[in-house]
Structure formats: structure tokens, C-alpha cells
Structure 1
Amino acid sequence: MKFLYKCILLIGIFITLGCFVQFMVFNRFFISNNNSLLLSINEKSSENVSIQLMENFEKIQNSLKMVAEDDEIRENQELLDKFIKIVPEVDVVTILNSQGDILHVVGNKYSPSISNLAYRDYFQKAIHGKTYISNVFTTARGFKVVAISVPIVKNNNIAGVVVGVVKLQGTSLASMFDNKKFGKDGYISILDSRGYIVYHPNKKRIGKKSVIFNNLQGKAGSGIMKDFSRKDQFVGYSKVKNLNWFVTVNTPTEDIIRNRNIINYEILLFSIIICILIILLGTYTIRRYTKPLDQIVFSFNALKDGKYRRIDQRDYKKEFHEMVRVYNDAVEELEKEHNNLEEAAGIDSLTGAYNRRAFDNLISVLKKEINNCSLESLGVLLLDVDHFKELNDTYGHLSGDNVLKKLTQIMKEISGEKSVFRFGGDEFTVVLPNVSGERLLSIAEAIRLKSEVSLDGCTVSIGSTEFPKDTCSVGELLDFADKALYLSKKNRNKVTAFKNKPER
């Protein structure tokens, strides 16, 4: 046995080492593949955001073009005010003539501090026929803004410029991206062509130079970079079409590392549990070889306490079969002797009720009491379990035995411990001296009702008879009760009192 224990221990050590190696390999593989996957996802996400950003700017440009093409809107302050309300992305709309002079301004609660914007790059681009989106610049009042300019064309000549201004610290641009989540603390950042931040969830960063701008090369890409917080980020970036702006999607590496460690620790814990289970399984297997002897010794000791438990031969190796057979034969003989002793004592070994022998002895005593005029009345109930054979055939004799035990307990609780007798099979009798007819039927009905809800789908049929109402012969009582029982069995689950002239 010691050799087997050593083998199990050695196997456990090998499994532990294997789990450790697997843990290390998985850890390295997980880091490499996980980083590549996240960088790829962030790069793809940045491309999607850049497309969305361009679509939003094109929407603004189209709205401004509508103003540029409609003289009535440009020259009517009231219509311009309505326009600014239905295009919430634009904070200020300015109408300029071909010299850059301001003709109309809507959406600006301050009076313009300057009257000519000809020097602005967005005017210069638009006056030469190009729709233009500027980089981030600071207005005279200190606002960080982006300007979108559209030329006003009349008779194939450029007559002026419509300029839409988007404040970066406002809510219009942020509403496009603030609802986008990338992990727990991931975020989107938008940079203009010089690296100044156009959008950032941290409003304090807007208008400042991005610390990762110099790392952004080509139209798209990804990498692990440190952001303004000096923490490593998984950064995927994409250039916005026609703008030379960049959209970056940033995910902190520490979240991924934390999740990776959780997974790794779960794998390690699972491996340890598996190792422990294998060792326990091996120990259990070894103990199965020693179980037969221990079990037989235990069973022999149980005989001293009157517990006659057989051993299933199929649970043991061949070399123990003969020993188990001898033991089971001995138990069977002892059990027979025990049952014989119980029979002699008048107790039914299965249910604990009195047996037929005890009933016959009681009848002899009752006859003497009647002859001595010391017994005024006597009630007898004869009971039979309905559908008992079907129960045995369907669920086995063990289920039938349990029903008989439950019924015995019910009768004892209702009529008294010493009044219940088992005749054999599923037939019982209850003998009640000095009981009225009403009381006798009440007891019978109580037994029937409780049996109906307690006997696993079975019910009882009951026949009752009384002395001296039905007969003056104690010997006829059982016969009359049997006739009443016969009538109850026709409908089952019924109590029938004996009548000399049964109703038809």
C-alpha cells in the first residue's frame, strides 16, 4: 500500500509541474496575442470614428452650403437665427463678403471685436473656391474653436464666404463621441494636423498639444504609447480623410493586465484543484482495495447491536467473494432466527404491528370478557390497501413495504398502539373494545382520509362491524367486517359499515 501512495504522490508532483509549465506558456502566449488583438481592435475603432467624424463635418458643410446658396437666408437675420437653432453642431455662423468684411453674425452673444477676417486661413481657402476645415485656433475671446468655411458663388464668381464655428469645449462635438466606451477607462482623442487636441473626454486637454502626436505615422496604425498621464496605453489611430487630422482610440494597459492576471490566477487555481482532486481520487482508489476487510469487520461488529446488514458482493474483488458469501449466509440465518423470535412475541417484523397470532390470542381474551359480562361493546375494522399490487409491480416491493409501514403508523396514531394487527400482505385489522358505533366510523374515516394524502398514491378500503349490534358472536365479527370490506373494495377508498340486509 505504501508503494501505491508513493505513486500517487509522484503523479501529483508531475501534474503540478505540468500545470506550472502550462501556466507560464499560456501567460506568454496570452500577453502576445491579447496585445495584438487589442491594438487591432483599437485601430479598427479609430477608423470607424474617423469616418463618423468626417460624416458629421460633411453634414455641417452641407448645412453651410445651403446658407451659401440661398440669398434670402444670408440676408435675413431672422432666418439665420432659425438656422443656428436647427443645426446645433454649429455654435456661430458668420457671413463675410469677398473682402472678408463681416456682414452678419448669429449665435454669438458678444459683439465682434473685429470687423474683417480676410487674414484667416479659412477665409483664404474658401475665397479661392475650396470648402475648408481649419485646425484648432484660439479666438480673440480665448475660445478653442474649429472653423468650417464655404464659398458663396454668384454667377460663377465667389462673392463671399459662410463660416461655421464649432467650439471645442462645448457640447456639440463632444456629443458625437462622449457616449463611446472602450473598456473601463478607454477613450477617444481627435488631433488636428498640427497635433493639437480637437476632442478629448477630459475637457482640460482640448486645445493642447498631444504627447503622442509624433508617434503617429502613416494613414493608420497602432502601438503601446504613454499618454499625458504617463501611463501606457493601447493606441490605435487613423487619419481623417481630406483633413490630415488623427483619431486615436486609447485603452489603458493596466486594465488588460489586471484582467489577464485574474484569468491566469483562475487557471492556476483550477490546476491546483485538479491536482488535489487527482491525489484524492488516487487515495480513494487505494482505499477501495482495503475497504472489503474494513467493511466486513465493521459489519460483524454491527451484528452485536442486532443490525443485520448484507454486503453487496459486486462491490468487492474476486478474492473476497467467498468471504462475503459466507458472511451474507450467516446474516440471513440470524435474521430468520430474529424474525421467528418476533413472530413468537406476536410482533410483525416489517410494520411493527401485532401479527395474526396476537390477534387470535386477543380474541380468546375478549370471548372470556364477554362471557363474564365485562365487555359491553366491541368494534372491528378490516382494512385493505387499494392498488397495492400495481404499486409493487410498478415501483418494486420496497415501495410497497414503505406504504405498509406508513399505514401502520397512521392507524397507531389514530386508534392507539395496541389496537393494530397485520393479517398478512396488505390486510390489517383494528380492534377497539368499548367504542360506540359513531366513534368507530369516525376513526375509520380519519384513517381513510390521512391515508389518502400520505400513502404515495395508494388509498385504503375499510369494512366495519360492531358487537353486539351486528352479532353476539365474536367469531363472526371478522367475517362480517370482511363482507363490509368487500363492498368498499368495489369503489375503493371508502368506509362501509356491515348491515344484515345490505342496500342494493
Structure 2
Amino acid sequence: MKFLYKVILVLGILIALSCFVQFVVFNKFFIANTNSLLLSTNEKASENVSMQLVENFNKIQNFVKTVAANEEIRENQELLNKFNAIIPEVDVVTIFNSRGDILHISGNAHIPNVSNLAYRDYFQQAVHGKTYISNVFTSTSGVKVVVISVPIVKDGSIDGVVVGAVKLQGTYLASMFDNKKFGRNGYISILDSKGYVVYHPNKELIGKKSVTFDKLQGKSRSKIMKDYSGKEQFVGFSKVPNLNWYVLVITPTADIMTSRNIVVYETFLGSVVVGILIILLGIYTIKRYSKPLNNLIFSFNALKDGKYKKIEPHNYGEEFQEMVIVYNNTIERLKKEYNDLEEAADIDSLTGAYNRRAFNKFLSTLKQEMSNCGLGRVGALLLDIDNFKKLNDTSGHLAGDNVLKNLAEIMKSSAGDRSVFRFGGDEFAVVIRNISDERLLSIAEAIRLKCEETLNGCTVSIGAAKFPKDTYSIDKLIDFADKALYISKKSRNKVTIFVK
């Protein structure tokens, strides 16, 4: 079964390796795909915000053009104030003459500390007939603004300029973009054509130069950049048409990575759990089959030691029942055949009595019982046929074989089948358990008399010894019986009891 455990080990290693590879590959592709998706999403969002910004600036521009085209509004301060109140996108409306002198101001404005702004770029652009949207600059009152300037055309010539100013730290741009969220902490940032911040949720950054401006190229793209704090951000940007401004949609990578890591590690944990379950299932399955198989192999190995032990079928699953039944039936047949062979190996083929091998085994059993203090009285008889060689020489070996067979039958009928042993040739032994001295002598005499009557002229000489009367040793018991036989052989056809 070592092979099966090696299979479990290899399976566990492969599953662990598979989980690791799956985690690495999934993490790599998941990061790449989520990065691409977020960057693409931010880029699309920046394009949408850019279009919205264009629409709002067009609205402001149309408002300023309306003022520039309507002399009544320009000349009437009260009417100008009412008209300006309708368009909240414009914080301040200023009317200039062609020399740059301020004629009227409407809206949330500080009184400028100068009366002529002809030097301003937005005035110069408009006085030369252009509609102009400025970059971020600081007004005379110290406020960061963006202005839209439109020329006043009268009788085919430039008669003045109307300027609409949008305060960058005012409420209008904030109302446009503060409510737009991209993820948990995503936000919008707007830069002018020189890289100065037009809008940012952090009002302190408005009017400052952006750290990402130099990395912005093309009409719209997306990339990972670092912000003011040095942290990486997913940045999607789009250039505003006609303005060369940039709208940036920014999502901090930390927010995305936190969610992404949760997904990645949940996936990895799921893979590990599934891997462990597969390994446990494999171990359970292998054990379910390896344990019964191990028991079967152990039982088969026990056969080599002559142990014919049946297997309990109820300890095995249904799929092993038939195998166990076949095994038990085979064990039954083997046990019977083994016993038959074992008995045949202990039987003398001529006389049917037990042979010398069986005699030695029996003596070993008696010695074991004696060492365990479980042996009672034992009587031993050793027998030898008188004149047996002469019979073989005169009547032939067939006659001698018949005498041996008849002697064995006489001994079996007198002492019992399991007590008679043939030493070899014409020598026999009888060993009887739990027998009295009188009974042992009676059996010996009965054997001698029957042999005298039936053995074709042959007789037997018998020597007898008793345990524990004569000795406490099984070996000496046989030796003493042999000495008594030696005495009987001197006169023949006699039973001699060993006497110390």
C-alpha cells in the first residue's frame, strides 16, 4: 500500500502547485484586466466630463455674446444685474470700452483697484475681434478666475469688450463636479492649457501647477500616475476641444487594490479549501480501499505461517463482500487440505499408526504441558517384535509387512488409535495419558497375549515406564521404558515394568 500513500503525496503536491499557479496566473490576469477596465472607464468618464465642460462654457459664451450684442443691457446697470442673475455660471460681468476702461461691473465682484485693464491678454484678444477663453490667472482682487471675453461690434468696428469671469474657488464649478464620484475616493481634476488646476476637490490646489501635466499627451488616454502625495492613481484624461484644457478622472489605486486583493485572496482561499477537500476525499477513498486490502494481504501472508484465519465480512464494505466470501471459502478448503496433509504426514503408510515425526511432536506437547504444570499421569510402552528378522528371511517381506499391520491393529484396539506410534522397522511405542499403573500393565499384557495368538508365530517384548512415578522427565520416561524393553528382550514374549 506504500504506492497508494505515494499517490496521495504526489496528489497533494500537484494540487498545492495547481493552487499556487492558479493564484499567480489569476492574480496576474485579474490585475491586468481590472487595470485596463478601470483605466478605460476613467478615460470614458473624462471624455464625458470634457463634453459637459464644453457645453457649460458654450452656455457662458453665449450669455456673454448676448450681452455684447445688446446695447440696452450693456448701458443699463439694473438690467445688466437682472440678466446676470439669470446665469449663475458667471460670477462677474464687466463691460469695457475700446480703450480698456471699465464701464460697468455686475455680479459678485470686488471693486478693482484699477480702472483700466487694457493690458490683460483676454482684452487684447477680444479687442482684436476674437472670442477668447483664458487660462487660469489671478484677478486684480487676488481671486483665481477663468474669463470669457467677447468683442462689442458697433457699426462694423470694435467698440468695447464684454468679459464674463468664473471664479475657480466659487460655487459654480464645485456644483458641477463635486457631486461626481468615481469609486469610493475617485474625483475629477481640470487643468488649463498650461497645466494649472482649474478645478480640484481640494480647493487649496486650485491655481497651482499640476504634477501630472507633463505626462499628459494626446486627446485622450489613460495611465497610472502619481499624485501630489506620491501615491499611484488610475488616471483617465481627455483634452477639451478648442481650449486645450485637460479633464482628469482619477481613482486611487489603494481603493481598488483593497477590493481586488479581497477577491484575489478569497479566490486563493477557495482554491486551497477545494484542494484540501480533494486531498481529504482522496485520502478517505484510498483508506477505504487500502485498509481492507491491507487486511486481505495480511491474511494471505499469514497463510505462509500456517494460520488459516477467516475474515469477518461485516468489517468490510459491500464492494469487498464477495472477495471476502471467496477468501473465506478458500481458507476453509485450504485448512481442510492442510489438516489432511498434516495428518497424512504423521501417519505411517504401512501400518496406519502414527510415525516417528508424530511421536516427537507428541512428546513436545507433553513437555509443554509439564512446564505449565498441567500434565497428569502418563504411561509409556515400547514394543519390539521377537524373531521378526527370521520371519522376513524365511517367509519374505510380505509376510513381515502383514505382521506389522496386525500388530498395529492389536495395539490400536487395546490402547486407542491416537496412542500408537511406529518408531521404524519392528519397533512401536504406546503413550497413554491419565492411566493407572494397573491399567497400563493390563493393556501391555493384552497386547502381548493377542500377538502370541495371531502374529504367525511371532511374539512381542514390551517395556513399560510411568510418569511421574518413575521420573519427572518425558525424555527419561521413554529411556526407562527402553531399558525395561531391553530386559524383556532377553527372555522374549514378556512385559517388564521399569523399576529403579
TM range (shorter): 0.5 to 0.7
Question: Corresponding residue for 2:178?
Answer: 178
Task: Provide the rounded CA distance (Å) in 1 between the counterparts of 2:276 and 2:86.
Answer: 69
Q: C-alpha separation between the residues in 1 aligned to 2:322 and 2:159?
A: 112
- The count of aligned residue pairs is 308
Distance 2:142 2:191 in 1: 19
| Matched residue, 2:192 | 192
- Identity between Structure 1 and Structure 2 (%): 69
Contact 1:9-1:279 within 8 A present in 2 as well: no
User: Equivalents in 2 of 1:123, 1:31: separation in Å?
Assistant: 51
Partner of 1:248: 248
Amino acid at match of 2:10: L
Question: Aligned in 2, Cα 1:10/1:51: closer, same or farther, shift over 3 Å?
Answer: same
Equivalent in the alignment of 1:139: 139
CA contact (8 A) 1:136 1:196 kept: yes
Partner of 1:39: 39
Partner of 1:357: none
Larger radius of gyration: 2
Equivalent residue, structure 2, for 1:334: none
Mapping for residues 176-325 of structure 1, pairs under 5 Å: 176-286=176-286, 288-289=288-289, 316-317=318-319, 319-320=321-322
Q: Does 1:93 align with 2:98?
A: no
RMSD, matched Cα? 2.8
Q: How does 1:18-97 map to 2 (within 5 A)?
A: 18-97=18-97
Cα deviation for residue 319 of structure 1 reads 2.9
Corresponding residue number in structure 1 for 2:335: none
Quick one: distance in 2 between partners of 1:236 and 1:18? Answer: 36
What TM-score, normalized to structure 1? Answer: 0.57
* Cα shift at 1:287: 5.2
SS in 2 for 1:317: helix
Q: What CA deviation, in whole Å up to 9, does each residue of 1:349-403 have, x standing for no partner?
A: xxxxxxxxxxxxxxxxxxxxxxxxxxxxxxxxxxxxxxxxxxxxxxxxxxxxxxx
SS in structure 1 at match of 2:181: coil
Displacement of 1:143 after TM fit?
0.6
Gap runs ≥5 in structure 1 = 294-310, 324-504
- Correspondence list, 1:269-418, <5 A: 269-286=269-286, 288-289=288-289, 316-317=318-319, 319-320=321-322
SS at match of 2:171: coil
Q: CA deviation at 1:32?
A: 2.7
Cα distance, 1:54 vs structure 2: 0.9
Relative to 1, partners in 2 of residues 1:135 and 1:85: Cα closer, same or farther, differing over 3 Å? same
User: Which whole-Å CA distance do the structure 1 matches of 2:291 and 2:59 have between them?
Assistant: 83
* Secondary structure in structure 2 of the residue aligned to 1:43: helix
TM-superposed CA distance for 1:318, in Å, is: 6.2
In 2, are the aligned partners of 1:126 and 1:150 still within 8 Å (CA)?
A: yes
Aligned counterparts of 2:155 and 2:118: Cα–Cα separation in 1: 22
Q: Secondary structure at the match of 2:276?
A: helix
Whether the 8 Å contact between 1:292 and 1:316 is mirrored in structure 2 is no
Matched-pair contact (CA < 8 Å) for 1:197–1:208: yes
* Structure 1 residue identity aligned to 2:318: Y
CA-to-partner distance for each residue in 1:423-475, whole Å, 9 max, x for gaps? xxxxxxxxxxxxxxxxxxxxxxxxxxxxxxxxxxxxxxxxxxxxxxxxxxxxx
How big is the shift at 1:115? 1.3
Distance in 2, matches of 1:204 and 1:45, equals 24
> Residue type matched to 2:207 in 1?
G
CA–CA separation in structure 2 for the residues paired with 1:273 and 1:320: 37
AA of the residue aligned to 2:68: A
Aligned to 2:305: none
> Any conservation in 2 of the 1:90–1:164 contact (CA below 8 Å)?
yes
In 2: Cα distance, 1:262 partner to 1:109 partner: 52
Matched residue type, 2:249: V
Following superposition of structure 1 onto structure 2, how do residues 94-133 of structure 1 map, counting pairs within 5 Å? Answer: 94-133=94-133
The answer to whether the 8 A contact 2:224-2:232 is kept is yes
Aligned counterparts of 1:151 and 1:247: Cα–Cα separation in 2: 28
CA distance in 2: counterparts of 1:218 and 1:6, whole angstroms: 61
d(CA) in 2 for partners of 1:217, 1:109: 37
Q: Residues 223, 290 of structure 1: CA spacing in aligned structure 2 closer, same or farther, 3 A cutoff?
A: closer
Q: State how far apart, in whole Å, the 2-side matches of 1:163 and 1:144 are.
A: 15
33-42 vs 186-195, which deviates more?
33-42
Structure 2: gaps spanning 5 or more residues = 294-312, 326-500
Counterpart of 1:317 in structure 2: which amino acid?
E
Looking at structure 2, the residues matched to 175 and 114 of structure 1 have their Cα atoms a distance apart, in angstroms, of 31
Distance 2:214 2:79 in 1: 45
Structure 2 distance, partners of 1:163, 1:92, is 8
Take 1:220 and 1:288, find their aligned partners in 2: how far apart are those partners?
64
Give the deviation of 1:218 after TM superposition. Answer: 2.4
Contact 1:16–1:271 under 8 Å retained in 2: no
Following superposition, the deviation at residue 220 of structure 1 comes to 2.3
Change (3 A) 1:84 1:267: same
Following superposition, the deviation at residue 292 of structure 1 comes to: 9.6
Q: Distance in 2 between matches of 1:183 and 1:22?
A: 28
Supply the distance in 2 between the matched residues of 1:15 and 1:242 (Cα, whole angstroms).
59
The letter for the 2-side match of 1:268 is F
Greater alpha carbon shift after TM alignment, 277-286 vs 169-178: 277-286
Match of residue 348 from structure 1: none
Q: How far did 1:2 drift?
A: 5.7
Q: Is the 8 A contact 1:292 1:320 kept in 2?
A: no
Q: Give the whole-Å Cα distance in 1 for the aligned partners of 2:269 and 2:320.
A: 40
| Cα distance, 1:67–1:12 mapped onto 2, change above 3 Å | same
Q: Structure 1 residues 109, 126: closer, same or farther in 2, change over 3 A?
A: closer
Give the CA deviation at 1:291: 10
Match of 1:12 in 2: 12
Inter-partner Cα distance in structure 2 for 1:292 and 1:73: 104
Q: CA offsets, 1:188-245, max 9 Å, x none?
A: 1111111111100100000001111111122222222211111112222221111111
Question: Normalized against structure 2, the TM-score is what?
Answer: 0.57
* Pair 1:160 & 2:153 matched: no
